[in-house]
Amino acid sequence: MTPVTRLSALAAATAVGLFMTAASADDIVFRAADTHDADYPTVQAVDYMGQLLSDWTSGRITIETFPGRQLGEERDTIEQTIIGALDINRVNLAPLNNIVPETAIPSLPYIFRSIDHMHRAMDGEIGQQIMAALEPHGMVGLAFYDSGARSFYNTVRPINSPEDMEGLRIRVQNSDLFVSMVEALGANATPMEFGQVYDALRTGVIDGAENNWPSYESTRHFEVANYYTLDQHSLSPEILMMSKIVWDGLSESDQDLVMKAAALSVPYMRELWDARVAASRDVVVGNGNEIVEEVDKQPFIDAMGPVYEQFVTTPELQDLVDRIQAMP
């Protein structure tokens, strides 16, 4: 061995040694799942949260994000979170509706008058109460993220009123509430995982779906479903959560750090979100899609009575609805 190679072998051994000391048994690497790709605001916000945790702990706590459904569809990742096989998960509230009845309340059609109203509710006591309801089911809520407004798009015709929905096959998330909402409008609801929607639209298995601007754009659904009506039927927010099994294994001070980093990722996410909505809208409009911007929402709202009856079934759930509606 020449002196130089001996030296570099020594350097390599030292580096490995250093690395091994750095990656000590106390190190925590949280695995975090998201259905969206790496450039989507929800994923970027969790990356930011991981950066904060790493900075605060000199690298002892980090987050490794797995975007783009690498760990499965939301139904799978929710299951993994509950059994402790996944640490952190970012999903929409809708696929939790069937598991935790309280999560159905912010998903209800037209429950919020505006995004600001939704923020006021979810950033305060209502949001806390809904997060607390997750715990007996094995999940700990860390933050609510924005998801804008969900609206209908389809391959067949512009929707101007509930009558135009008649008979259309509309994909919904795995939530009985969303099934009921679409059926109350006279369409046929098809629950389906997010990753299957593009092909289903393209091959005509379904006629349409519903989502916000960024998801309509990022999935390229807008390329096959050209009609988008801004009926804004649901502001169902996103939730960032941790497995309760994993949470219970953390020290109290690490739990605090996780909560603080999650809270700081919210304003960061909201800024990215607003920019992404504008950019996605530009892409879709640039594609020449037919956007029904001015839609009379009243007939859509009027059709939703049965949905409230079906899902607001206890005094506790009714109380949540009343408190949200009474908010300024």
Interaction site with ligand BDP (CB under 6 A): 35, 74, 91-92, 147, 173, 194, 211-212, 215, 238
Beta bridge partners of 63: 30
Q: Give whichever of 194 and 311 is closer to ligand BDP, judged by the CB atom.
A: 194
Residue type, 319: D
Of the candidates 229, 28, 220, 235, the residue with the CA atom closest to the CA atom of residue 127: 235
Q: How far is the CB of 163 from ligand BDP (least distance, A)?
A: 25
Q: How far is the CB of 146 from ligand BDP (least distance, A)?
A: 10
Main-chain phi, psi angles of 160, to 5 degrees: -110, -20
Q: How far is the CB of 212 from ligand BDP (least distance, A)?
A: 5
Q: How far is the CB of 28 from ligand BDP (least distance, A)?
A: 25
> What is the rounded distance in angstroms from the CA atom of residue 126 to the CA atom of residue 124?
6
Q: How far is the CB of 156 from ligand BDP (least distance, A)?
A: 19
Of the candidates 70, 1, 75, the residue with the CA atom closest to the CA atom of residue 32: 70
Q: Give whichever of 158 and 195 is closer to ligand BDP, judged by the CB atom.
A: 195
- Residues contacting 159, CB < 8 A, separation 6+: 152, 165, 227, 229, 231, 292, 295
Beta bridge partners of 30: 63
Q: Give whichever of 31 and 69 is closer to ligand BDP, judged by the CB atom.
A: 69
Residue 291's CB is within 10 A of a number of other CB atoms, namely 18
Three-class secondary structure of residue 69 per DSSP? coil
Task: Compute the C-alpha angle 203/163/288, nearest 5°.
Answer: 50
- Residues contacting 128, CB < 8 A, separation 6+: none
Q: Give whichever of 175 and 226 is closer to ligand BDP, judged by the CB atom.
A: 175
Q: How far is the CB of 27 from ligand BDP (least distance, A)?
A: 29
Q: Give whichever of 101 and 237 is closer to ligand BDP, judged by the CB atom.
A: 237
Q: Give whichever of 61 and 207 is closer to ligand BDP, judged by the CB atom.
A: 207
